[in-house]
Amino acid sequence: MKRALPILLLLVCCVAAVAQISRDSWITDSRAFRVGDLLTVLIAESGSGSTNASTNTKREDGLEVGVQGGGGPLSFVPEITGSADTKNEHKVKGGNSRSNSLSARLTAEVVAIDPDGTLVVEGSRVVEIDGEQQITELSGRVRPDDVGSDNTIQSHLIADAVIRYSGKGVVRDAQRRGVLNWLFGWLI
């Protein structure tokens, strides 16, 4: 009995120590579950769409006039006849097609936790090369169950996802139409 007491005391201490181990240790789950935690979003988005429209209108009008000369003292007035045809046809066809894709990795921060446990995440990344900036921004809501063991999540699993990819710099500015160019394009 004297030997069992130190062993039992040692066992109780070990269990208490294991219970106190923080979630940052090597034996606990390191997925993002608290405000301020970071997770990696694997962005793989693509989309495409097309529209087609056509209009076809046709109108035909005709007019015919005939006058016969009078008799008696007006017999010198010749007989007048006439004919007029009008045709109007309008055909318009148009189409629009667009395809986009975005593939990136972005680290996002848990900025809030909803009452149901859903994580609210936001993140951004700015890459600048020779004065040109590429800006990626992301926000949305993540279910903790969708976060992988390596602390990553696929972008298609983010609810209410808003993913923006834009640029700033000389090249981007050169692609914009000037005011006069826009005005003439609008008038034409």
CA distance 180 to 188: 12
Q: What pTM was computed for the model?
A: 0.54
For residues 117 and 147, what is the distance between their CA atoms, to the nearest angstrom? Answer: 13
Residue 108 to residue 138: CA distance in whole angstroms:
8
Distance (Å, whole) CA 119 – CA 155: 14
Rounded to whole angstroms, the Cα distance separating 167 from 185 reads: 24
Measured CA distances, 128 to 44, 163, 166, 178 (Å):
22, 19, 12, 25
Q: For the chain, give every domain's residue range.
A: 21-46+101-187, 60-95
CA atoms within 13 A on the CB side of 65: 6
Distance, CA of 93 to CA of 91 (rounded, Å)? 7
Which pLDDT tens digit goes with each residue over 20-43? 444 445 555 556 688 999 999 999
pLDDT, one tens digit per residue, over 117-168 is: 999 999 999 988 888 888 999 999 999 999 998 999 999 999 999 999 888 8
Residue 119: exposed, middle, or buried by beta-carbon count in 10 A (0-12, 13-18, 19+)?
buried
